[in-house]
Amino acid sequence: MITLCPTTWEMASKMTNFSDWVRRKLLDDQETEHQTRKFFAECSRCGTTWSSYNSKRVPHVCGSCLNDGHDPQVKRWTELEGDV
C-alpha cells in the first residue's frame, strides 16, 4: 500500500499503469544500489596483475619495474562485479 499526497495522486491518476511503474522503479533502484565495481591493473612489461574492490589497493605504477629502472606504468580498468 502506498499513501499519496494530493499532488502525487493527481500524477499517478494520469498514468496508464501506476502499479507497474512503481514495481519497475523499485527494482531499478535496487539493481543500481548493489552494483559493485572491482578495480584491475596489469603491468604491460612484466605482466604482474592486481585486483581489488578498493581502488587504493590497485597501483598506478609497477613497483618491481620501477625498482629495476624500467617503465613502471600499468593499465588500469574497472568492471562491475557481475561481469567479473
Whether 11 shows a pLDDT value over 60: the answer reads yes
Q: Indicate the domain borders of the chain.
A: 37-83
Torsion of the alpha carbons at 15, 19, 23 and 29, rounded to the nearest 10: 40
The per-residue pLDDT for 41 is 92
pTM here? Answer: 0.51
pLDDT tens for each residue of 20-49: 888 888 777 665 555 678 889 999 888 899
The per-residue pLDDT for 32 is 53
Helix (H) or strand (E) holding 63: helix 63-67
Q: What's the CA gap between 57 and 63, in Å, rounded?
A: 13
